[in-house]
C-alpha cells in the first residue's frame, strides 16, 4: 500500500458514521497518499459536507480533493472518478442490502467489485487497524491455472502490503472439498488423499511466497462458509479475497465466493484481481 499515491473515498452524506473516510485517513497518515473524496449524487447539494471533511483532513496535513458527480449509475460514477483521478485504490463503506432487493437486483457493491479495475476496500467496521490485529488472505491452492496463479500473486502481494503498513500478522487460508465417491479422479474420493494433496500444495505455496508455515491454514468444506469462520477464529481485522474472470475475460465476472463472503464477513474486505483482468477492464473502459 505504500506505493499507492492516490485513494478514492466514496462518501455517504446521509449516514451517521463514515467508516470509509476513517479508514482512508488512517492509510493516508501512514503512506502519505492523497485522498479524493467523492459523493455520488446528481444533486449539487453536498458542498458544505465535503468542505468540512476536507478541512479536517487538511488540518492533519493530509492532501485532499473533493468531487460531486453522477453518471448513469452508482458504480459507473465511482469508476469514472477513479480513472479520471488515477486512484489506485477505492475505499467504500458497506451497507447491507435488503434481502428481497438483493434477490431481484445485483447489489451496488457487487457491481463495483466486478468492474472496478483497481483493488476495492469495503469497510465494514470502525475497528482501528493496528499491529495487534490479523490479516487473513483467502486463496485456492487447489487451482493451479494461470489466472489463479496470477491472482494468488496479486492477492498475497496486497495482503503483505497491508500487513507492512499496519504491522499486523498475516495468515493464509485455503479450503479443500469433501470426498466425492463419483469423482473421476480417485484422489478426490478419499478424505486422506484430498487432504494430502492440498497439504502438498500448501507447502509449495508457502515456499513460493516465502511465508511462515505456521500462518498457513487448511480446512475441509465450502470456502464461502469457512472463510468468515476462520476470520472470526483469528480475530481478523481485514480479509483479502480475489476474483478472476470465470468465462474468459469478456465476462469479467467476480467469483461467487467473493460475493457471498462480502456480506458474511465481519471484517473489512479487500478485493483484488490479477493484473490481466485489471488491464482488460481498463481497456474496456477506454473504448
**How much is the pLDDT for 55?**
97
6-123 — its CATH code?
3.40.50.12370
Extract the residue ranges of the chain whose pLDDT is less than 50: 101, 103-104, 245-255
Would you list the domain boundaries of the chain? 6-123, 134-286
**How much is the pLDDT for 200?**
93
Euclidean distance between CA atoms 153 and 149, whole angstroms: 6
**How much is the pLDDT for 284?**
59
Read off the pTM.
0.89
Give the torsion through C-alpha atoms of 96, 102, 106, 107, to 10 deg: -10
Q: Which grid cell sits at 142?
A: 487447489
**How much is the pLDDT for 250?**
38
Domain range 134-286, CATH architecture: 3-Layer(aba) Sandwich (3.40)
Amino acid at each position: 500500500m505504500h506505493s499507492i499515491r492516490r485513494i478514492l473515498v466514496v462518501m455517504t452524506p446521509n449516514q451517521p458514521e463514515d467508516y470509509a473516510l476513517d479508514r482512508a485517513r488512517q492509510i493516508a497518515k501512514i503512506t502519505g497518499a492523497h485522498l479524493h473524496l467523492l459523493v455520488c449524487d446528481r444533486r449539487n447539494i453536498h458542498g458544505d459536507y465535503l468542505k468540512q471533511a476536507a478541512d479536517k483532513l487538511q488540518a492533519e496535513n493530509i492532501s485532499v480533493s473533493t468531487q460531486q458527480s453522477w453518471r448513469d449509475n452508482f458504480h459507473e460514477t465511482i469508476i469514472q472518478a477513479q480513472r479520471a483521478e488515477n486512484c489506485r485504490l477505492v475505499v467504500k463503506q458497506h451497507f447491507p442490502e435488503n434481502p428481497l432487493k438483493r434477490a431481484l437486483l445485483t447489489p451496488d457493491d457487487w457491481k463495483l467489485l466486478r468492474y472496478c479495475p483497481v483493488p476495492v476496500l469495503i469497510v465494514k467496521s470502525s475497528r482501528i487497524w493496528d499491529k495487534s490485529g490479523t490479516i487473513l488472505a483467502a486463496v485456492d491452492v487447489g487451482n493451479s491455472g494461470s489466472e489463479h496463479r496470477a491472482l494468488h500473486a496479486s492477492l498475497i502481494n496486497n495482503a503483505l502490503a497491508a500487513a507492512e503498513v499496519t504491522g499486523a500478522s498475516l495468515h493464509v487460508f485455503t479450503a479443500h472439498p469433501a470426498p466425492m465417491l463419483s469423482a473421476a479422479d480417485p484422489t478426490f474420493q478419499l478424505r486422506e488423499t484430498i487432504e494430502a494433496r492440498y497439504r502438498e500444495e500448501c507447502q509449495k505455496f508457502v515456499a513460493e511466497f516465502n511465508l511462515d508455515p505456521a500462518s498457513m491454514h487448511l480446512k475441509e468444506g465450502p470456502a464461502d462458509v469457512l472463510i468468515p469462520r476462520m476470520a472470526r477464529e483469528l480475530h481478523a481485522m481485514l480479509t483479502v479475497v480475489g476474483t478472476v474472470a470465470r468465462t474468459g475475460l469478456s465476462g469479467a465476472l467476480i467469483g461467487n465466493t467473493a460475493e457471498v463472503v462480502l456480506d458474511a464477513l465481519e471484517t473489512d474486505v479487500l478485493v483484488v484481481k490479477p493484473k490481466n483482468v485489471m488491464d482488460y477492464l481498463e481497456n474496456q473502459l477506454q473504448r
